[in-house]
Chain A
Amino acid sequence: MIDALFTYLNQESVIDMIVTIGSMILFFIGLFGLLSQRHIIKLFISIAIMETAVFLFFVGSIFVRGFTAPILGDGYDKFVSMNDPIPHAMILTAIVIGMAVFALGASFAIEYYKLTSVTDVDQMSEISEINR
């Protein structure tokens, strides 16, 4: 029974489906958080979830099971049966950028809280449509 389940799950198409549907669910969890939460830090977390979902989706869909890392040596002398390194490099870059921006955002939120004791984006009132 368990073995049959594992064989089923091991199929390429099933894994692709799990990656796609799973990351899309994650994406919409993040989007829902972005639209429903009003706490600044929670907003950042929601965006981070969306971003992670995109990264997961990208790496998951491009990765081919059974292929190795694209490094020559240890008996590998041709670039065959190897995974594409570009998405991984891209995602690493994007993760680093994302982390830096979230750190910046958190520091803004902390400074803002120190000045106004507000953590809710709806209560931000320093700037308003009609100038007082």
Chain B
Amino acid sequence: MADVITFVWGQAGADRAARGLLGAGQRLAESLTGKLRVAILGKADDSVVSAFQTLADGVIVLEDELLSEYHPENYLAALIDVCKRHVPHVVLLGNDTYSQELAPRLAHRLGGSAAGDAVDVAMVDERVRVTRGVYGGKATAVIALARTPGVVWMRARAMAPAVDRAPGEVERVRLGIAPDKRVRVVSRNVEARSGARLEDARLIVSGGRGLGGPEPFKQLQALADAIGAQMAASRAACDAGWVPPSWQVGQTGKKVAPELYLAIAISGASQHIMGIADSKVICAINRDADAPIFKHCRFGLVEDYQKVVGPLIDKLSRQK
């Protein structure tokens, strides 16, 4: 028997990332002819639990008070405990920061192997193989994990979502984790930003080095507001301090998967493309027709953004 366990955070609910993750889990469990279980950590009300019920063979709800909020050491202990009880062949996590923080440590404690930022996971000769971008997106590697379990964090939003099936059973568990005294969360701060998280955004307007300073971002914000999009930026713009680091998209920033990614004055270095490759449609405005970004675009406009953005806002506000 070779089962799959996925770990999700209750607060996020069965969002696109969780559904993508479970989709990958369903397909993998099928190829292993094993069960797919989903363990929910953090606050999860009944609607969240029942949403997951139809997506997995089993739902494990962890009810320890200690796990109501993320804590790296306590969460790690909980993941280890669940894995020791169910002995999965593969553990799947999303690519949020918490999952990335936990995955390698979980693999180490279980004597397994981890690999992350996966765009695909498959079984080949009973070994887990993970496909991922390397060298800043210039190459793709297939990594063969040598140990079991395979712990994989996935580009969850890019995965085909899980399909509904007969509801699985719900198991409510109190693990009785001993609280870790070495680490204490002092404060958790949410950056003020209107609308959806960047990773969940369906429309994104993004600006780059070509904007030359913080001022043009205000105009891009007006464009984003006109179409109900979220704002993002390339690393160059964030490093220059023009916009907050949390706007950064790319290998070293967030990985987004919107329906439309509109890149303005972004050249499109491979490191940036790594963060936007899961977008459904990429389009760009750039005055350089040879800018690498256009290689990834469905459509593009070769113009100086300064001449375009103002009129574009007018037209899009009217057409909406």
Q: Do A and B come from one complex?
A: no
